[in-house]
Amino acid sequence: MNANTRVALFVVLATILWLGSGLLSEEFGDVAEPTSAPLTKVQVEKFSERDFAPQLWLRSHTEPFRIVDLKAQVAGRIVAVPGRRGSLVERGQVICAIDKEDRQQRVDQSVAHLQQAEIAYRGALQLKTAGYQSELAIAQAKANLEAAKLALKRSEIDLDHLNIKAPFSAIVEDRPVEVGDFLASGQLCARLVELHPLKLIAQAAETDVARLKLGQKALATFDNYPDIEVSLTYIAHEANPKTRSYPVEAKAKNSDLLLRAGISGRLNITLPSIKAHLIPASLILLDSDGDITVRAVDAENRVIQIKVAIVGEDKKGVWVQGLPKAITLITVGQNYVSRGEHIEIYLSSNVQ
């Protein structure tokens, strides 16, 4: 093979190698690494479990502690009405006075009959001792004596019933009679309402009534009156068939009679302390099932979603249960991440 032929072959071989190297580099050349997407950056805070005393708020209204209708027990004409409508009367004070007529004389007559019966009975006993009186006569004398005692007692009671008195300190809410009116037996003289102490009535839901106890302290609040401390005196064992709620009663002091019956308000009852977390209300989310949840991060900075139950409210947020004792919650950006996502976090300086 001459020199020209060798040169030509070398040129051809070099050309083929050059072309081949270009194709190979294009097919198998260095492939650039794909650029990974940046992690979502969110703000987190650490929260710890605390003691929390739940507050139960119940709508309430005031009622008189006692109401009594004073009615005549004997018939007669009204001669005095010391108990003025709207006035405060003390226990034992006369509200309506009925004319005595001849009732004092009846008492005196009953006293005389009793004295006569006592003499007759003593005489019968003496005759029995002497053997001149029978057992029947003695029994008759004893019966007459007891009848005379009963008649005296009855006449004294009728005389005492002429003065219709207040059974306790109260307000005369209504007095429909005046001097000169005739009261029949059983007819109304006055209606009394006792406002000290005062009764408060509320309704508790079936989910709340189990947490209430007799004697439990509460705070009664009103729009136009000062707050007062009360204590629970009655918790119903049977629900209202229409509302399915349980009547609850409380008693409050009202010595100045500032509060009237029928005033609306609320009962704030402090329940036994529980463990819970205080978190900002903005962290509350709803999942696809409508359950209340919050988003947190685990040890590997992955998003986790936890169901919680709201047990109270506060000026700083809401109290929830269902979280571990210590938890790191996402406070900013929780709406832009999903469960299981790996994220970048930065810690807020405001630690709860």
pLDDT at 126: 82
Q: Quick count: other Cβ atoms within 10 Å of Cβ 276?
A: 23
pLDDT at 10: 43
Q: Which of 17-26, 75-84, 246-255, 335-344 has the lowest mean pLDDT?
A: 17-26
- Which residues of the chain does CATH 2.40.50.100 include? 67-188
Q: Max Cα separation, the chain? A: 191
Residue position matching structure tokens 């999942």? 287
Are 318 and 324 spatial neighbours (Cβ–Cβ below 8 Å)? no
Is pLDDT of 252 > 70?
Answer: yes
- The pTM score is 0.67
| pLDDT tens column, 276-319 | 999 999 999 998 888 999 999 999 999 999 999 999 888 899 99
pLDDT at 284: 94
Find, among 266, 267, 274, 264, the residue nearest to 312 by Cα.
274
Q: Quick count: other Cβ atoms within 10 Å of Cβ 144?
A: 18
pLDDT at 23: 44
More confident call, 152 vs 29: 152
Helix (H) or strand (E) holding 173: strand 170-174
State whether residue 99 is helix, strand or coil: coil
Stretch 71-77: mean pLDDT, rounded? 95
- Kind of pairing between the strands at 317-321 and 274-279: antiparallel
Four-CA torsion 135, 140, 141, 145, nearest 10 degrees: 140
Angle between helices 103-130 and 135-160 (to 10 degrees): 160
Residue position matching structure tokens 């805070």? 45
Q: Report the half-sphere exposure of 12 (CA within 13 A, side-chain side).
A: 6
Is pLDDT of 3 > 50?
Answer: no
DSSP, res 193 = E
Four-CA torsion 241, 246, 252, 254, nearest 10 degrees: -20
Band (160; pLDDT cuts 50, 70, 90): very high
| pLDDT tens column, 17-62 | 445 545 444 444 444 445 567 889 999 999 999 999 998 999 999 9
In one-letter notation, the amino acid at residue 309 is A
pLDDT at 31: 47
Q: Which of 28-32, 40-44, 88-92, 170-174 has the lowest mean pLDDT?
A: 28-32
Band (274; pLDDT cuts 50, 70, 90): very high
Distance CA 256, CA 46 (A): 51
- Which residues of the chain does CATH 2.40.420.20 include? 42-52+274-347
Find, among 288, 292, 199, the residue nearest to 249 by Cα.
199
Residues 6+ apart with CB under 8 A from 94: 80, 82, 83, 163, 164, 165
pLDDT at 184: 95
Are 80 and 96 spatial neighbours (Cβ–Cβ below 8 Å)? yes
Q: Which CATH architecture has domain 42-52+274-347?
A: Beta Barrel (2.40)
Is pLDDT of 232 > 50?
Answer: yes
Listing DSSP states for 212-281 in one string gives --TT-EEEEE-SSS--EEEEEEEE-SS--TTT--EEEEEEE--TT--SPTT-EEEEEEEPPPEEEEEE-G
Residues 6+ apart with CB under 8 A from 22: none
Find, among 14, 51, 42, the residue nearest to 270 by Cα.
51
**What CATH number should be reported for the domain whose range is 57-63+195-270?**
2.40.30.170
Mean predicted lDDT score pLDDT of the chain: 87
What's 67-188's CATH class? Answer: mainly beta
Find, among 56, 52, 42, the residue nearest to 318 by Cα.
52
Is pLDDT of 211 > 60?
Answer: yes
Are 285 and 294 spatial neighbours (Cβ–Cβ below 8 Å)? yes
Is pLDDT of 221 > 80?
Answer: yes
